Chain A
Amino acid sequence: MAKKQRRQNKKQKGKTSAQPHLSTTELENRFHNSLERFAYRPAIKFAKELHRREPDKYQSLLIKALQGLYRELSNKDQTARAATIMEQIKNLGESSATDTIELSLALQNGVILPQHEKIAVGKMAEWESGELTDSDKNVIIDILLIATTLDQPQAAEPVTQPLVTDILAIRNAFKLICDKQYAAATEEVNGIKRNSHLAPWRLLIKGITAFYLGDDEKALTAFRKLPARSTPAELGKAYLFLLKDTETCRQFAKKELFLQKVSLLAADEEVAKFLPRAEILWNTGRYRDSYSKIEPFLLNIDQTGSSLQNRLLRFYYNSPSTMNDDQQQDYIHFLSKKLFSPKNKCPAQLQAAYIRNAALYEETCFEGEEIAVKLWDSFLEICNRIQPASRAFTAAVYAHQAGIFAELQELDQDIVFSPQKIMAAILGDQDDPKLEPIDPHRAEVLYRRAIKTDPDNLEIRLKLLELFEDLGNKAKAKTNRLLDELIRSFPDNKEILTKTGVRCLERKAFPKGLKYLYQAARLDATDNKIKEYIILGSINYAWKLTLADNQKRCRELLAETLPFCVAKGQHLTLSPALLRARWAVFALFHDQVEEGKQELATALTADNSLDPDEVLYFFRLYAGVHNIPKEYLKGSETELNKVFRRVDNLDRLITFTKIILYNNQVSENDTLIKKELSRLIKALKKLTKKITSPKQCLAVVEFAQSHLVDNHKLALAFLRQGQRKFPDDLEIRLVRLSLEMENSRSIPTYKQMDQLNDLIEQAKTTENHRITRKAVELVEHFERKINWHRSFNNFENLYGNDEDYDDDETEEFDDEVVNEVVDEFFDSVAERLPPGASKPPKNWPRRRTRK
């Protein structure tokens, strides 16, 4: 009750606060003070009191205050209240005062009638009179720019003629932009002066033309320069949003009204009705509701549908792959209900898009292959309903189905928890897992089906070949049969000829293999890989002929092979000099000393990219590993001794390291290789301080770390020296750090990890992406190692502290308890397992990462 009384008192007080006791002068002062502070409500009170006393004199003051309040309310979007104020102004009977307000209201309501346009034209006469505020002028310009009935706004006074010209220029510019005449649009507004009221519009037009011409920088600059709160700035906002201007996106991306304008500008009114709402719903995680909003737009999709329809289809149907599991399940379930409900007649395009995504999803699920294959069948069926699918497309779907079963997976998933594996994982020395196709038989059947559907499709046949190759020895016969079949069907295909040739060489069917490779080389004379295969095949065949005492054919073969050699970049297979050196070795094997000497002499000058010392070293090693009698090699040995004594060039020794590693691959003489290694390492050690480039340092380190050499001391010596000479070289630092960390007995130290992280930072700063990637991989590797180490320690701790350990108690351990503890450990280990090495999952569906 008391509350009600208080409210009434307050109301009464409000009503009687017109200050009747104040003098007119005081009221006037207070009115002006209030107006200056933009306090329109008190100003109106004072003005009303003044107006009551002398209506004629103070009517203008009252209108001024009401106009101020009207604008304030309008700016706050309080349209209804603003309209009431407007009524009050009208009731005062001052039409000229209400004109601009009426125009404002028309703009706000979005209904511009011819009478408004007329008023705006009339108001131009007052342009220079000082009666119009800037805000009034903006309203008049806005009306005149979109006026439909006025093609030629008539100027009431000659003084407003430039204004009319400017307005017409802007109107024409918009027309030209819509007709894609961007240059003409810019030209049209060039006449607008900088001090004109339409200067911001000129800037806007320039921004818009720059936008459509693809000059983003210019467009952004223009739009950003537009005066705030002006109509041009409002128009520019949507363009800024389309240009992904950060500030605009941050401020307006969640505002539906703004998004409506963007949709209107970039699409049409129809899209503007649903897309902004769909956007808001999507961004708040209401994916199903968002889809429902756009669904009607997608329902009339057809083959020639608009691009936006296709983009929305792609977005709404491909998005599940970006959602988390729960959201994905929920959304997919919702879509399937929508699409396959008998009540709901959905276009086949949508169904096909859904089925395709579902199939792709199933492919990633554990044991989802069969479901995926069925889904692909359904997909094909639906595609046929839309439009009969071509043979090629049908075959592509079958081949894709085959690919699901041809994918490689780890062979020994069941024995992943063997003690050796766990220890290897702890030490970070896991071997590469053995991989085999998931179901080779199903894959082959499906590939054959695809080939039958589209017999001309080479790609699918090559995929089948790949499947057989993945099976290795198990499908050797099938591989050969398929290759023969391929050669018959595609006699002019370089790739097939090469593959078949190489396979024949592997089977030691040299003449056949070389025949195919010669054919391939004729098809592409620039392919060095084919040449390399030919040379390797010929060398092996020549050695076979040498052993079979068929020297004549051996010579012929080597002579035929010489044209395939390329003297380029110290390539140890392609080099003509080294083929000659080999020829010399084959000749010496049959005691053809003269021929051998002659070939060696030719070899020493046959390749500019190799130094004679390097050719000689190759010859010596090649002869050694082929057990050529020592008396034939005396001369070259003496020469090489001299070379090693005088060598002061690290590059020469680096080539020697390559030669020794190359020859080790064909070695039948371990003693010789060991002896040569020892000599080479000694020579390298002498030249540790002669490093002239990081490349040299890293080449020696690579050699020292090779399986054959495995000499950490040599590697570290060169790395230390390299780091001293090239302290800024990140690769040397990284290799040294990784070597030191690998050699530490247990796990890397914090200091080492910190150094590695510092290195990553430096690599990022210098934008050295290769080093960054390598270093990050190394960090991940060591972090895995540390985690394993920790799990192992936890496992030990499961039994309690050593102090509490009692032998007698362990004897009484129940088997079940032990099993529980071991299971717990295995579970904790399973969580830390690297992807692809997990225990078979208990719950379906569970993700599996394929290799």
Chain B
Amino acid sequence: MHNPYEILELATDCNDQQARRSYLDKIKEFPPEHFPEHFREINEAYELVKSQEGRFNYQLMDKDPGAASPIDTLRQPQTLAGFRQPPSLPTMREYLKQCMKDR
């Protein structure tokens, strides 16, 4: 499962109001009709961190590796539309070079 703090872009020492604010911002940004998967993830994340007890419980009890393998830690956030960030232009150029080299 994704890290709820990462999904909601929250600091680990946030309070209930900050969690709620961030949750509302996120569901506004990713409405269910366009991003059903992401919306579900946002709801699940909020359920975990909406109360102080929940946040502490997550910080103390989380046993989930969050990914299936090291490369999956890179791929996991990319599975959600909101987390997809394009590379910088030099990196993109480098990526193009690499692909042209291996073609």
Mark A residues whose CB is within 8 Å of B: 107-110, 112, 142, 145-146, 148, 174-175, 177-178, 180, 211-214, 216, 229-231, 234-235, 237-238, 241-244, 253, 257, 259-269, 271, 275-276, 278-279, 282-283, 290, 294, 307-308, 310-312, 314-316, 318-319, 321-322, 356-357, 360, 390, 392-393, 396-397, 400, 459
Q: A214-B38, A392-B52, A396-B56 are in contact. Are A271 and B74 (CB under 8 A)?
A: yes
**Is chain B's interface secondary structure helix, strand, loop, or mixed overall?**
helix
Tell me the nearest residue of chain A to B54, going by C-beta: A459
Q: A244-B75, A278-B70 are in contact. Are A110 and B82 (CB under 8 A)?
A: no
Report B48 CB to chain A, min CB distance, Å. Answer: 14
CA distance A211 to B38 in the complex (A): 14
Q: A214-B82, A234-B102, A397-B60 are in contact. Are A318 and B75 (CB under 8 A)?
A: no
Query: Are the CB atoms of A178 and B70 closer together than 8 Å?
Result: no
Query: Are the CB atoms of A318 and B94 closer together than 8 Å?
Result: no
B93 interfacial by beta-carbon distance below 8 Å: yes
CA distance A259 to B72 in the complex (A): 11
When distances are taken between beta carbons in the complex, the residues of chain B under 8 Å from A314 are 3, 62, 64-66, 73
When distances are taken between beta carbons in the complex, the residues of chain B under 8 Å from A392 are 52, 56
Query: Are the CB atoms of B70 and A261 closer together than 8 Å?
Result: no
Query: Are the CB atoms of A110 and B53 closer together than 8 Å?
Result: no
When distances are taken between beta carbons in the complex, the residues of chain B under 8 Å from A290 are 70
Query: Are the CB atoms of B62 and A318 closer together than 8 Å?
Result: yes
Report B32 CB to chain A, min CB distance, Å. Answer: 13
Partner of A146 from the list B67, B77, B86, B100 (CB cut-off 8 Å) is B100
Interface centre among B59, B93, B98 (most CB of A within 10 A): B98
Query: Are the CB atoms of A235 and B56 closer together than 8 Å?
Result: no
CA distance A264 to B90 in the complex (A): 11
Instruction: List 20 A–B pairs whose Cβ atoms lie within 8 Å, in order of A's numbering.
Output: A107-B101, A109-B101, A110-B97, A146-B100, A174-B89, A178-B88, A235-B95, A242-B79, A268-B91, A276-B71, A307-B6, A308-B74, A311-B74, A311-B77, A315-B66, A318-B62, A318-B66, A319-B65, A322-B65, A356-B60
Partner of B100 from the list A231, A242, A263 (CB cut-off 8 Å) is A231
When distances are taken between beta carbons in the complex, the residues of chain A under 8 Å from B6 are 307, 310-311
CA distance A308 to B65 in the complex (A): 13
B28 interfacial by beta-carbon distance below 8 Å: no
Query: Chain B interface residue count: which class?
Result: 35 or more
Query: Are the CB atoms of A315 and B73 closer together than 8 Å?
Result: yes
Query: Are the CB atoms of B63 and A318 closer together than 8 Å?
Result: yes
CA distance A174 to B95 in the complex (A): 11
Query: Are the CB atoms of B86 and A110 closer together than 8 Å?
Result: no
When distances are taken between beta carbons in the complex, the residues of chain B under 8 Å from A142 are 100, 103
B76 interfacial by beta-carbon distance below 8 Å: yes
Query: Are the CB atoms of A235 and B99 closer together than 8 Å?
Result: yes
Report B9 CB to chain A, min CB distance, Å. Answer: 10
CA distance A618 to B60 in the complex (A): 52
Query: Are the CB atoms of B95 and A261 closer together than 8 Å?
Result: yes
Query: Are the CB atoms of B65 and A235 closer together than 8 Å?
Result: no
When distances are taken between beta carbons in the complex, the residues of chain B under 8 Å from A275 are 70-71, 74
Q: A315-B66, A396-B53 are in contact. Are A261 and B88 (CB under 8 A)?
A: no
Report A490 CB to chain B, min CB distance, Å. Answer: 15
Query: Are the CB atoms of A263 and B71 closer together than 8 Å?
Result: yes
CA distance A109 to B101 in the complex (A): 7
Report B15 CB to chain A, min CB distance, Å. Answer: 10
- Apart from A174-B93, A396-B57, what are 12 other A-B pairs with CB-CB below 8 Å? A110-B101, A212-B86, A242-B75, A262-B75, A266-B75, A275-B71, A276-B71, A279-B70, A311-B73, A318-B62, A392-B56, A396-B56
CA distance A319 to B68 in the complex (A): 9
When distances are taken between beta carbons in the complex, the residues of chain A under 8 Å from B97 are 107, 110, 112, 146
Query: Are the CB atoms of B63 and A321 closer together than 8 Å?
Result: yes
When distances are taken between beta carbons in the complex, the residues of chain B under 8 Å from A311 are 3, 6, 66-67, 73-74, 76-77
When distances are taken between beta carbons in the complex, the residues of chain A under 8 Å from B92 are 174, 177-178
Q: A234-B103, A282-B70, A312-B73 are in contact. Are A146 and B62 (CB under 8 A)?
A: no
When distances are taken between beta carbons in the complex, the residues of chain B under 8 Å from A112 are 97
Query: Are the CB atoms of B71 and A315 closer together than 8 Å?
Result: no
CA distance A397 to B59 in the complex (A): 10
When distances are taken between beta carbons in the complex, the residues of chain B under 8 Å from A397 are 60
Interface string of B33-52 (1 = CB under 8 A from A): 01100100000000000001
